Each structure stands twice: as C-alpha cells, then as structure tokens.
Structure 1
Amino acid sequence: MSESAPPLPTGVLREPQQERSREKVTRILAAATRLLAERPYEEIGTKLIAAEAGVSIGVLYRFFPDKLAIATTLMAHWIDDFTALTTTALAGPLPADARELTARVLDAHVHFRREQPAYRSLSHDGPPLPALRGYDEAGERRLAGAIRTVLVRHYGYPDTPAFALRTELAVSTTGRLLGTAFRSDPQGDPAVLAEIRRMLDGWLLAGPPAAD
C-alpha cells in the first residue's frame, strides 16, 4: 500500500487558506519558475522574484522567509507532480507486457523533465535542500508502492518484501540516473535513457525475486 505524503517541513509553505493569499503565492512561485528557466539559481534574488511576480518584497516575505524556502516549496510541488504523473501513467487500459507499462511510466518522467527547464536548473545547479530529504524519500516510496501494486495485481509479480525492496531500489536508481541523463542534455542523453530502460527490463522485471 502506498503511503500518504508526510507534512512538509517547517518553513516550507503549504497553500494558504484565503483566496487572495493563494493567488499571491501562486504568482511568486510562477515567477520563480520562469526565472529559473532562464538563469542560474545564484543569479536570482528575492527582490527579482518579487518584481517578476508583481508583488512587494514585504508580501513575498510574508509567505517565504528567504529564497531557499521558495526553492524548497517548488521542489516539494514537483515531487508531488511525480506522484501525479505516475498515477496517470498507471491508470487506464494496461498493456499486455509489463515492460510496456514501465516504459510508459519512464516516458512520463522523461517528458516532465524535458518540459520543465526550471526543475532541471534547480535540481542540477541549485542548493542542497536537506529539509526535503524525508519528503523526497517518502515520494519515492509512494511511486514504488503504486508501481508494485500494478505489477503484483496485473502481471503476477510476487507480493513479497523482497519484491517491494527491488521496486523501491529501482525507483530510487531511476531517479538518480534521470538526473544524470538531463544534467547536460535538456532532451535527456539518449544513451543513458536507453540504459535506464535496459536496467528496468533486466532487473526490476527480470522475474520474481528469491522467496523470503
């Protein structure tokens, strides 16, 4: 069973309740996203983000104590996006071959990275975000749980701790290899993407793991 998302760490924004406040937060995050798509994180300051969002610096600080909090909030939202796009990829009619299913999920994550230059910029050249370590790990476990459930229910893979571990390791490894693929190529290095597919086919889907 996939776990629910944990609360975001202290200092990382959750959506405010009032509509006007939510609209301002949305503008601030959208402005930061646009700026990250155009320039490195180190060249972006809170004054620039506020100007791009059309709000005062005081309004920005009302919701975010600093630039790092904005970056952390953006990354948390993107982690949530990974869960949503994986769920979408797993929904609907399933292919006959499990390899086609994992290829569909991988393609969704590849497409996301191609279409999100701000994510690529922040994940590759941004600062460490230690406050999100647990949130990111929980997100990977949710992805692995969703994938494992479909593989067990529809493709006959064993519902065992060993296969659960294999799936979690495959998800974690795939995320890191995707980072490698997109580090210097905005479309993803074709050779690295091909090796990720080979890994999933030959490891995750190689057959049931040894019995516990």
Structure 2
Amino acid sequence: MKVKLTWIYVPSDLLPHDEKDDDNDMEVIADGILEEFEKGEKEDLEIDERILIPASILSSRIIEDLPSNLSYFLGRWGGKYYSGDISGALGEIIVYTILEEKFGVKLLDILPLREVKFMGMITDTFIHVGKYEKLKEFLGDKDGKSLLFVNVRSSVKFDKAIVRKNIARDLITSESLRYPDNYSLLSYVFGDGNIMMVVVRP
C-alpha cells in the first residue's frame, strides 16, 4: 500500500511558551504549517499491509477486521461512510505501521494512550528515541535520551478549517509534554493517501 508523506519541521523557539503569549499564536503557526503542507514535497512510502493486522491490536477501538476497511478509506469510497471511531482507528494503525517501516519502531514498544486522551493532557503514544537508531538520526537526537510524543488524527476528507483548528489544539497539548527537551510528531491522515507529519524539535 502506498502513502504520500509530507514532512514539516517546526523549531521549538517558533512556538509560544511564555504566559504572556496568546493561544491565538498557535493558529498563526497552524496556518503556516498548512501552507507548507499544500505546497511541500511528498515522499512516497510503500508500507507492508501485513503489518496492519498486528498494528490493529493497538487501536483504541475494537473493530472486527479493521484493516479490510483501508481500501475504502484510502480513496476507493464505494459510497461507504465512516464514523469517527473507524477513521480514527485506521489513522492509528497507518501511522504505527509507518513508524515500524521507516524507523524500525517495534509495535510491541508502542503504548496506546488514546483511551485517556479525552482529558486533553496526553498524546496517543510516546516512544523512547534512543532505542531506534534510524529515529534518533532522523530527529537529530545525539544523546538518545529524549521521548517522541506522537499524536494521530485522520479524516476521509481534507477540511482546511477543521485541520487548522486541530493543529493548534494538538500543538498546545503536545507542547505541555514535549517542552523543552523532547520531540513531537503530529500526524494527520487523509483519505486520499496523503499524510501530514509535523515534527517539533527542541
């Protein structure tokens, strides 16, 4: 299965961290991220669909035969509609599979946290960067002591206004965990096979 990744890198000092900063500043940054996504280069990545089956165990929702829905979700609708539970679960397993394919992150090392995410205090999961050399090199984490906080959102259609609002909200949540020394990966999976990967570095 082929997906198209757009990597967008955000340095920590670009984000508001002072009490005097306005949360609306995040919306300005979200606009910049979306602009980069719309014009940015895309990386084609072929992922092994066989990995999607064990990855579905990590989904926050128990959905029978979840991977079979991917062919519809990724561009072949057939008049099929999806609840937030299904599209969200599909986004999760796609991103977890990408992490394994591209960086060698073992599925067994992923701790799904979406069940407590509704509190607005945590991301979907976190990863110890130092365990994975490819990930460590990609992020530029020389010591390998940092954490990568991963958040996943997905939708069948790309709605710019909704995605903009979600980016701003996700940045606020992830920054409360990441700042000052760790990393964040905010992932947005869309039904046309495009995936926006926002990396926040210290």
Given the two structures, how large is their TM-score scaled by the length of structure 2?
Answer: 0.29
Please say which structure displays the higher CA radius of gyration: 1
Task: Indicate the structure whose relative CO is greater, using CA pairs within 8 Å and at least 6 residues apart.
Answer: 2
TM-score (norm 1): 0.28
More helix by share: 1
